[in-house]
Chains A and B, each alone.
Chain A
Amino acid sequence: MTSKTVLNDAHRALGARMVDFGGWDMPINYGSQIEEHHAVRNQAGMFDVSHMTVVDLQGDQVRAFLRRLLANNVDKLAEHGKAFYTCMLNDHGGVIDDLIVYYLGETFFRIVVNAATREKDMQWITRQAAAFDVEVSERPDFAMIAVQGPVARERVIHVLADIDRERIAAMGKFHAAAAQGLHGVPLFIARTGYTGEDGFEVMVPEDHAEEFWQALLDEGVRPAGLGARDTLRLEAGLNLYGQDMDEDVTPWEASLGWTVSMDEGRQFIGRGALEAQKQQGVQRRMVGLVLDDKGVLRHGQTVLTEAGKGEILSGSFSPTLGKAIAFARVPAGDIGSTRVVIREREFPVRVVKYPFVRDGKPREGI
């Protein structure tokens, strides 16, 4: 059974090419994914991300629960609307999922997890929540539209109620707030995203999603599909769950150490395993690769290094750079010169620091 977001008809009306994505019928592009990519880097594009799972967590002990559930310390979230990105881990330190957490009050946090992992996430969260008497409720009544690009925020602000414009325009990165759309539609607006560009992710009641989408179209925001979303996030150096990390990979091995807080005395799930791995030495690490030859780096290709074999995780053509880029998991330590195997032929690849693209431009040296 394929699920559809409330914007399905709107996508089809725009001539979208639809694909199955984790059980959801989603637009991969509306013609040219490269043009959509450039629209987001240079102007503003929007993505239907209603397939993602929004979960509200409520109860007196919700903060204590999240201290245990998440690898980052939720105590960093003390200001209303503040958000961060982190992972929830299993007992072995493997990543169950990555997510964004919003602080909405001392007894109320909201999280957004991936669509493809919804079922196992909900089971895990519900199981862990029981001891803390936290109420876990999915919010399928929300559609979600990510509006991204250098002019994305002004486009969104233009379709808000007058009274809220100034406040939302002044909102900092990784903050969220409730606001009203035109005609008083209640919105939840977060200054977050998955493209490396500035912008908002907007939760909108399903009944009003189509009119909100249309209002953004009228503002000149270009619809963009999952294809562009993937190349944008790869250029921006952002991991994709299932491809760059999963339950057999720890944050240390997925360049996600920055999302882990080893603060004293906080016993989050997976901490013991992370400490043990660090002590024994982490054997694998994630690097960025650039292919200067023609060709495309793709998931599963073998990477040959002087320290042993590795493999491509996320790989694609970068529209901003005009060449292929990838994340690869390789042996720890000095890997020397590296090559990738494409259709039984070896090509040299350069190991680079990512993000590959920042502020809409290639990073220096890339």
Chain B
Amino acid sequence: MSDIPGDLKFLKSHEWARLEDDGLVRVGISDHAQEQLGDLVYVELPEVGAHVTPDSGCAVVESVKAASDVYAPVSGEVVEVNEALDDAPESINDDAYGEGWIFVIRPDDKSDLDALLDPDVYAELIEGDDA
């Protein structure tokens, strides 16, 4: 089990969110999620400028094995996407919480983050997933 950085919040659907100093929220999928998916080969990124909500998928990560929707942890506007993933989707496998980030949102309401799962709660949730 890899260590989960303490400054992250999680969705049950395995996305992570990090509130950065500039008030923007960086989003990716958890290390556990990338392990489950296996080798990633393609990431469909959202459009910069799009308004996204947690209700529908706004990106797609595809491994050799399966395609999986990525949800925005909070509502907001997409201000940046990780274009490096176009050529190196495997960054998500190698460094899910760092180089493997997927997009950045300007949240409509920062306090929406409070409703997300803390790392220890998420860790508990995924425990035994492999059994």
Contact = CB atoms under 8 A, between A and B. Distances in A.
Interface string A323-366: 00000000000000000000100000000000000000000000
Interface string B58-91: 0010101101000000000000000000100000
B42 interface: yes
A227 B42 contact: no
Interface residues of A, number: 16
B117 interface: no
Contacts of A167: none
Interface in A5-60: 17, 28-29, 32-34
Interface string A299-327: 00000000000000000110100000000
Interface size classification for chain B: 10 to 19
A296 B42 CA distance: 8
B95 to A, nearest CB: 15
B123 interface: no
Contact of A34 (B39, B62, B67, B86): B39
Contacts, number: 40
B64 A317 contact: yes
Contact of B38 (A29, A296, A298): A29
A298 B62 CA distance: 11
B65 A227 contact: yes
Nearest to B60: A343
B99 to A, nearest CB: 17
Interface of A: 17, 28-29, 32-34, 227, 231, 294-296, 298, 316-317, 319, 343
5 contacts: A33-B65, A227-B64, A296-B41, A296-B67, A317-B64
